[in-house]
Structure 1
Amino acid sequence: MNGEFASIGALLLFVVVAGFQSATPIMFAATGGSFSAQVNVFNVALEALLLGSAFAAFLVADATTSVWLGLLAAMLTGTLLAALFAFLTVTLGANEIVIGFAMNIAVVGLTAVLLTTIFDSPGSYLSATAGKFPMLYSDIGWLAVLAVALVLLGHLHTFHTRAGLRMRAIGQDPAAALAAGLRVNSYKYRAVLMSGLLCGIGGAVLPLSGLQLFSVGMTAGIGFIAIAAVILADGRPLLAGAAALFFGFTSAIGIALQTYGFPNELVLSLPYVATVVALFVKAYVTRRRAAAAKAAQRERGQARILVNA
């Protein structure tokens, strides 16, 4: 067989490695977004948190030649941007979708201006000093392992800790949680800040795991894919991580298909098409379940009427 892949085994290995590589930043963002979703805060600013953190990581790593200082800067930047989102939405009560989209647009513009101002290189800049994170196997880095571990820890936190139970209680009925003495806004802040911290790690992966390159809009919508993963998972970290892996492997399959002559436009759109299809299926299933629950409730009501007649 001609082309880059000499065997089915090599093709599968490529898909696994590239899939994990593509899914790593999505897993971080989706896990963080699931925490926000649990307290009923829909964090639409995941794209902004990833992109802002990616620029901070690249800037500091380029200046200090340390990817770890770059990672620290990314975590701080993601947390600060999340704090801004939490202040505007939780404290001031602004609409989450409006604030999220405003932050997404603002960070794209801000990073583009800073890239031109600091590096005198509009569009993109390749660093000779930034370095990159150490790899565990081929192009799978240690941060990919951390992403998987955090998905599992997030699941344990959500369903097997008192704090996770309280967060879910706040998300289901904030008024009842407040009446029970829970500090609702405090838990919301913690959840949103955690999403920022995790997005910071995911953002650092983007410029410091490959070519040590930053380009304008380099997140390319993966923050919105992470939001889709959160929606599909209903705020459950384990399912959000699984959805992130699905989208990552979809992207890897698309790259592999390029070697077989498929149009670039088609294969590059594959993960986004998969996202839309997955959300459509989710909406359809949710609607069917709601209709079935409503029908069952109506039947129970009719049964009571017949019994009492």
Structure 2
Amino acid sequence: MTSCKKCSKNAVVFLPYSGEKLCRKCFLNSVEKRVQKAISRYKMLKISDRIGVALSGGKDSVVLLNILHKIESKFLRSKLFIIHIDEGISKYSINNQKMAKKHASELDITFIQTSYKKIYGKTLDEVIKKAGEGENRRLGACSYCGVLRRKALNTTARETNVDCIATAHNLDDETQTIILNLLRGDLNRLIRNSPLPQKIHPKLVPRIKPLRTIPEKETTLYAYYKNLSHNSKPCPYTAEAYRDDVRFFLNQIESKRPGTKYNILNLYDKLSTKITINQNSIQECIICGEPSVEEKCKACQLLEKF
């Protein structure tokens, strides 16, 4: 039996990119310490911040909530709020809501819920149905959902008067987003993905990503070893995502060259410090009044077609 690198107990986890073999306890501590390090390195939080945690009910957001709850109770004296967005995706959203409420109750955290139906008058299922099927639809379901979710999170967080929104983007999510923006030639989105919380418009709530240095496999293991209940079923629209192709590509490279995802993230972080966002380019949507880089925000552009 292989021994843990840190305490000599039986190892249960192997981290290919570092060569470390860790026991259950040391692995859990490792994840938590790396989250704390990311929060400190990127100056994500301050003492007594009001933190809005975007909780979907999936494994990553549940792991984020539990780690932040542990950290804030020990060090930050901050106040957590759970923000749950019901997208209206048949049984999938119902299961997510059930899990989100369960963790809010167990941790005694204020639970704030809204929905696409309440904000936009349509569920995601209704939007996709009207947009058409397969090749008849201009965009994938994830493109619609991403735009609508970002706006819903921001408006709800602003109304809740939180200092920042904590999202559960892990290392895999971050590197996929970087590659996707490069493949699409989308410089604006590439720049806006900076790890530093940015207040670039009075109506935009800064976002932080405490899990951005944690690989997806490790958030899965953390949830398993902590016995954290979550919705383990994938979104029914996932198969449509362009992101899935990029995920497959990156996972292939990572399996042959461990550490590739960290290399991509570190290079991006170095570049992001040399690029600034032109705040004058942010205006307010002529339809809804929300921040936008165009005359009409993306959400209004998508929804006005229906």
The normalised TM-score by structure 1 is 0.26
Which structure has more helix as a fraction of its residues?
A: 1
The normalised TM-score by structure 2 is 0.26
The structure having more radius of gyration, on CA atoms, is 1
